[in-house]
């Protein structure tokens, strides 16, 4: 537990809480972008320890949650084909489409397999030349380099039976979309440390200046999160709006340059629809024309698909911080982890899942 217990030290946590209480004089609304941070906040009841004047708002930082229902439908269409081995991380299998999920496709006889790395899917393509192997490439900037490497490895090996269904999204455009909304009530951000490990935090600096909000790059353990909140509140109380790096043990301003090179080589920035939110300009990564033979949407000639969300599900309002999960009339009733209406109840990083799992407002 070395290098982990230190960031869960109750004495340090108590001291941080004391400092936050001492400097807080006004009402502040702070959004943690990452779903992993949301789960830590719920697990350790950090919101309950903070002064009442500080409200933590949960953001759209769960890649499973924001994958649009149209992409789920495309995944299901591909996975139902007899000539396909469809691969994915396990957290995508129970995300509901309009009628089915990928686990249901597997139950119907579809060859749907859980892998732990996109390179496993590349190996499957090598060992199954008579099948088309597809990997469901979902995630933020964090997972995109590994998926890009899978494309480059397939290209290097000359494989013509491997492709990815890309549903990658980018964090900075989402932050701008939230801040530019007429309904915005966010005054500060805790940004996701693992995303910034790849991309750095230089892209956040102009956003912070433009909208006058502090952005703190933050880790995922209680000490990380409370340190980030302390830095954010301190800026708010002083009327400052800067980018600060709480997660400096991992994150640098410019990020991982070799990983960024992979992104630039394999992907191109595109407009992307976010589940429950809508289309955010230049917020996604699609496979570039250079590697379009590895783009599952083109390989299988998938066109536009339009699907409506269940009316009772308020996932969009939850992901944009306008409502808390327990304010949904279906929460814990029609919508549970066993029978989810939306992805936020399925994902291990979903806000609804966090509230349900840690018995908040049930």
Domain spans of the chain? 30-353
What is the reported pLDDT for 359? Answer: 76
User: With a threshold of 0.85, does the pTM exceed it?
Assistant: yes
Average pLDDT, the chain: 94
Mean pLDDT of the 20-40 span: 96
What is the reported pLDDT for 310? Answer: 77
- pLDDT above 70 covers a percentage of the chain that reads 98
Q: What is the pLDDT of residues 104-119, one digit of tens each?
A: 999 999 999 999 999 9
Q: Residue 276: in which H helix or E strand, if any?
A: none
Q: How far apart are CA 195 and CA 136, in angstroms?
A: 19
Half-sphere exposure of 338 (CA within 13 A, CB side): 3
pLDDT confidence bin for 92, thresholds 50/70/90? very high
Q: At what angle do helices 257-266 and 144-157 cross, to 10 degrees?
A: 60
Q: What is the pLDDT of residues 280-293, one digit of tens each?
A: 999 999 999 999 99
Supply the CATH classification number for the domain 30-353: 3.40.50.11740
pLDDT at 52 over 60: yes
Q: Which two tokens stand for residue 63?
A: 């890649």
- When comparing pLDDT for 308 and 173, which is higher? 173
pLDDT confidence bin for 2, thresholds 50/70/90? low
Mean pLDDT of the 64-82 span: 94
Write the burial class of residue 95 (CB in 10 Å: 0-12 exposed, 13-18 middle, 19+ buried): buried
pLDDT at 248 over 90: yes
- pLDDT above 90 covers a percentage of the chain that reads 84
pLDDT confidence bin for 360, thresholds 50/70/90? low
Q: How far apart are CA 133 and CA 16, in angstroms?
A: 49
Q: How far apart are CA 327 and CA 335, in angstroms?
A: 12
pLDDT confidence bin for 309, thresholds 50/70/90? confident
What is the reported pLDDT for 226? Answer: 98
Is the four-CA dihedral 17, 190, 38, 219 of positive or negative sign?
negative
Q: What is the pLDDT of residues 224-237, one digit of tens each?
A: 999 999 999 999 99
pLDDT confidence bin for 342, thresholds 50/70/90? confident
What is the reported pLDDT for 36? Answer: 92
pLDDT at 361 over 80: no
What is the reported pLDDT for 346? Answer: 87
Closest CA to 344 of 306, 318, 312: 318
Q: What is the pLDDT of residues 114-154, one digit of tens each?
A: 999 999 999 999 999 999 999 999 999 999 999 999 999 99
Q: What is the pLDDT of residues 207-220, one digit of tens each?
A: 999 999 999 999 99
What is the reported pLDDT for 250? Answer: 94
CA distances in angstroms from 51 to 18, 23, 44, 200, 332, listed in the order given: 9, 10, 15, 31, 28
Q: At what angle do helices 10-23 and 222-238 cross, to 10 degrees?
A: 10
Q: What is the pLDDT of residues 252-261, one digit of tens each?
A: 999 999 999 9
């Amino acid at each position: 537990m070395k290098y982990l217990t230190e960031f869960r030290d109750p004495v340090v946590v108590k001291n941080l809480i004391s400092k936050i209480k001492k400097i807080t004089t006004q009402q502040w609304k702070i959004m943690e972008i990452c779903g992993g941070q949301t789960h830590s906040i719920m697990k350790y009841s950090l919101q309950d320890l903070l002064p009442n004047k500080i409200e933590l708002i949960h953001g759209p930082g769960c890649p499973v949650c924001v994958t649009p229902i149209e992409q789920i439908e495309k995944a299901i269409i591909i996975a139902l084909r007899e000539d396909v081995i469809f691969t994915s991380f396990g957290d995508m299998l129970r995300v509901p489409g309009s009628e089915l999920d990928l686990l249901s496709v597997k139950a119907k006889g579809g060859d749907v397999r859980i892998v732990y790395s996109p390179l496993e899917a590349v190996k499957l393509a090598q060992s199954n030349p008579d099948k088309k192997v597809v990997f469901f490439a979902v995630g933020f900037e964090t997972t995109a380099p590994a998926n890009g490497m899978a494309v480059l490895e397939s290209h290097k090996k000359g494989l013509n039976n491997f492709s990815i269904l890309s549903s990658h999204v980018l964090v900075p455009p989402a932050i701008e979309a939230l801040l530019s909304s007429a309904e915005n009530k966010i005054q500060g951000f805790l940004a996701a440390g693992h995303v910034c490990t790849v991309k750095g935090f230089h892209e956040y600096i102009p956003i912070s200046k433009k909208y006058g909000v502090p952005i703190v790059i933050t880790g995922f353990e209680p000490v990380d999160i409370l340190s980030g909140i302390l830095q954010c509140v301190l800026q708010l109380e002083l009327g400052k709006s800067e980018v600060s790096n709480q997660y400096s043990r991992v994150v640098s301003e410019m990020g991982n340059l070799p990983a960024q090179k992979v992104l630039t080589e394999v992907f191109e920035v595109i407009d992307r629809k976010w589940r429950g939110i809508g289309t955010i300009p230049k917020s996604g990564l699609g496979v570039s024309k250079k590697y379009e033979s590895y783009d599952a949407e083109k390989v299988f000639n998938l066109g536009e698909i339009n699907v409506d969300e269940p009316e009772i599900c308020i996932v969009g309002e939850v992901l944009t911080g306008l409502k808390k999960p327990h304010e949904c009339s279906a929460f814990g009733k029609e919508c549970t982890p066993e029978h989810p209406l939306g992805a936020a109840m399925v994902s291990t990083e979903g806000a609804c899942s966090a509230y349900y799992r840690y018995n908040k407002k049930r």
